[in-house]
Amino acid sequence: MRKVVSKKKCFYINAMVIYFLIIASLLSCSTEDKEVQLNETQEEDKNPNASYADIDFNHWKITLPVDLNGDSKPDEYQPSDLIDFGYQTITDLQPFMYDDATDTSIVFYTYPGNATTANSSYPRTELREQQTPGSNYDNWSLVEGGVMDGTLQVASVSNDTETSRQYHRIIVMQIHGIISQEDMTTYNFSSNHAPPLLKMIWIDGKLFAYKKTLVDESTSGLDLYDDSSSTWTDIKYDFGYVGFDSFQIKITARQGEIMISANNKNYTFQDISLEKWPFENYFKAGNYLTATDPTAHASIKYYNLKVTH
């Protein structure tokens, strides 16, 4: 005998089915919303933090004032170590190169450690340009030219108790010379060392540009490769007081001239020495402290740094 279900009971059953379908739908939407929010948060975590300095490390290596690995040379980290925020993960690098998220800068700290580079007795935490990442042998001539543009600040520096200056001097940017691999082979040179073509130096709050120029403008041929002060000396230009405030430097180098914009001033070096400059070049930026006092120290902040060729 077939069981008869009343209309009232059918209505009740249908209502319950619809109720449970609605609840299931709401729970599904809530779960989907949470998943979307979680995915969005994860995507945000993958994005570079806007508080980091604007520096692409693909073509920069860094040299430190210490020898922690015991190879009798200053420790260095290559572009492959620094890119993609890799510098944030290297414990030995942290005391010398680290982010300051409070003002979107990266800090370069140095002091007289236990290691200096060849031909120098001064400590540095300094970036060195590498056109081919990982190689020091691919550099550029003044014919090819280059531009370096950066915003920086001297955050702190120790007092100089050994001279008449108030503070120790800091080289914050350079164009450094190097003998090309072609000339090394052609002239059978034993070393590729060459002098810095340009140094931007902070001295007691003032910014100076020091450029190499020939002592005797008639010098020619192989004599141009002599890197001693008897062949190449410095001439300078005073860009005025910057103190401990942030400032911008833009250097444009090409054959025959170097144009510098700094501290709202423009100056161009233009002479026969730049026409005769026989070396290739590479840019440097960071903190090169010209002091050997064990108590000396300095911190330089960089907010952005760009190089183009």
Q: Residue 50's pLDDT is what?
A: 53
Compute the distance between CA of residue 64 and CA of residue 146 in angstroms, rounded to an integer: 25
Residue 119: predicted pLDDT: 85
Contact 53, 105 (CB under 8 A): yes
Q: Where are the beta strands (DSSP E) in the chain?
A: 54-55, 60-63, 76-77, 97-100, 105-110, 124-129, 146-157, 170-178, 193-203, 206-214, 232-241, 247-254, 257-262, 265-270, 280-289, 298-308
Contact 99, 106 (CB under 8 A): yes
The ranges assigned to domains in the chain are 1-47, 54-308
Tell me how many helices (H) and strands (E) the chain has: 4, 16
Residue 292 in tokens: 């050997």
User: Are the CB atoms for 277 and 115 separated by under 8 Å?
Assistant: no
Q: For the structural domain made of 54-308, what CATH number should be given?
A: 2.60.120.200
H-type helices in 56-122, by residue range?
A: 79-82
Dihedral over Cα of 297, 300, 306, 307: its sign: negative
pLDDT per residue, tens digit, the chain (309 aa), is 444 444 444 444 444 444 444 444 444 444 444 333 434 433 344 345 458 999 999 999 999 999 999 999 999 999 999 999 999 999 999 999 999 999 999 999 999 999 999 889 999 999 999 999 999 999 999 999 999 999 999 999 999 999 999 999 999 999 999 999 999 999 999 999 999 999 999 999 999 999 999 999 999 999 999 999 999 999 999 999 999 999 999 999 999 999 999 999 999 999 999 999 999 999 999 999 999 999 999 999 999 999 999
Amino acid at 155: A
Residue 239, helix vs strand vs coil: strand
The neighbour count for residue 122, using CB atoms within 10 Å, is 19
Is 293 within 8 Å of 161 (Cβ atoms)?
Answer: yes
